[in-house]
Amino acid sequence: MSKSHVTVGYIHYPIDLEQKSKADTWAEKLLQLSYGEAKPKKKLKVLINPFGGKGMAPTYYSRYAEPILAAAGCDLDVQTTTHRGHATDIAEKLDINAYDAVVACSGDGLPYEIFNGLAKKPNAREALAKVAVGMIPSGSGNGMAMNLYGSPSVSLAALAIVKGKRMPLDLASITQGDTRTLSFLSQSFGIVAECDLGTDNIRWMGPHRFTYGFLVRLMGKTVWPCDVAVKVEVGDKQAIKDHYRAEVHKEPRLLTDTEVEELPEGLPPLRYGTVNDEIPDDWERLPGETMGNFYAGNMAWMSSDANFFPAALPNDGLLDLVTIDGTIPRLKSLSMLLAVEDGSIFDIPEAHFRKVSAYRLVPKQTEGYISIDGERVPFAPIQVEVHKGLGTVLSVSGKAYEAKGPPGTQT
């Protein structure tokens, strides 16, 4: 085992027959210590996207993940997705009592589909509480694996899933037109959405396409006018750091089996209505005429080299929102790009961070990009509200993301 890779190894010790019961006790104790509260021998539905990232998911899975899952005695039901939306259909029809988790061997696109498929079930809340989602990172954006397993490594993700603890995860409802979907990772408008979605022509660059796209855009248009109204819950950086310190070590309470079965049908009701309703009076209007970057994150890492939201917590019921004016000097923008990797962007004064429970964003132009979890949605108004701990994931810690918190909060 190294910091970035783990393989299966077998050790044989010949023992006398009369020592067998002692050896069995020893092995049992070792397994107990190794698994802790995590469930051993999980029943997993594995979905492989053969077109995620550079198309390597099937190879990565069979070479680096499957041997680990199989050696750990996981019960594996593997299926390859054949088209866009296939993972949503599979999750919608899934027997939620037959699996502990659905594992996406993909980028962040498949987990998004899986959450939304579970959300389509009549017993959506029960399904989202019962079936955890996990990821074997094999796409171009592997944010989920970075946050939950602390690494973009396929084999380490497999091991983390084997020993993964269930953790409730906030999910956000997005209403747009007459639709309602769920987001687990992020929503973006402005330069990040442009870099994420407007760089398909340079996919061959892999992860570098984002940086390249950013630099190209910085040379050209840098403002994306919009109207923004926000339900602010924690409004300044010091208060966010205090909130982070107070919450990061708390063990979230998982619902009991009986509580899960008694959950009401459907998704939770929307507290603030939809994008077609009046904006509540107590929401704050933010200046949007010269918006450069509007980016809301539910997790810390947005990709393996971008800890954009160092204060994000999995189940505080809040999204971390950063807004950056598009008219700030280009050199300042560049320094922010460099400060994203280690989370130090948090302390840059031009990056405004807030923790919010809901918001509305209305683009003022007719064309452009809005990204939800890296997927393109129509360029039209969206309203977003968070549901605390609605989803479930398999994680290493069971309580927090594998990311350094905002500067100054490390203990």
Ligand X SMILES: Nc1ncnc2c1ncn2[C@@H]1O[C@H](COP(=O)(O)OP(=O)(O)OP(=O)(O)O)[C@@H](O)[C@H]1O
Question: How far is residue 394's CA from residue 410's CA, in Å, rounded to a whole number?
Answer: 24
Strands 319-325 and 291-297: antiparallel
112-132 burial, b for 16+ CB within 10 Å, e for fewer?
bbbbbbbbbbebbbbbbbbbb
Contact segment (CB under 6 A) with ligand X among 78-86, 172-180, 219-227, 228-236 equals: 78-86
* Binding residues for ligand X restricted to 250-269, rule: CB under 6 A: none
137 and 108 Cβ atoms separated by less than 8 Å: no
* 222 is an interface residue for ligand X by CB under 6 A: no
Number of residues located near ligand X, criterion CB under 6 A: 22
One symbol per residue from 352 to 381: x for binding ligand X (CB under 6 A), - otherwise; what is it?
----------------------xx------
CA 20 to centroid of chain Cα atoms? 45
By beta-carbon distance, which residue lies closest to ligand X?
107
Smallest gap from Cβ 241 to ligand X, in A, equals 31
| Residues from 41 through 60 that contact ligand X (CB under 6 A) | 49-53
Do the beta carbons of residue 57 and residue 48 sit within 8 Å?
Answer: yes
Q: Please say which residue, 50 or 67, places its beta carbon nearer to ligand X.
A: 50
Write down the catalytic residue from 75, 89, 108, 373: 108
Terminal Cα distance for the chain, rounded: 27
Exposure class string for 276-287: b at 16+ Cβ within 10 A, else e:
eeebeeebeebe
288 or 374: CB nearest ligand X: 374
Residues 134-193 within binding reach of ligand X (CB under 6 A):
139-141
- For the record, the structure tokens of 283 come out as 């929401």
Exactly one of 100, 107, 159, 181 binds ligand X (CB under 6 A); that residue is 107
Q: Least distance (Å) from ligand X to the CB of residue 318?
A: 25
Mark whether 108 is an active-site residue: yes
Q: Left, alpha or beta for 373 (phi > 0: left; psi -120 to 50: alpha)?
A: left
Interface pick for ligand X out of 68, 74, 81, 318 (rule CB under 6 A): 81
The catalytic site residues sit at: 108
Q: Given the rule CB under 6 A, which residues bind ligand X?
A: 49-53, 81-86, 106-110, 113, 139-141, 374-375
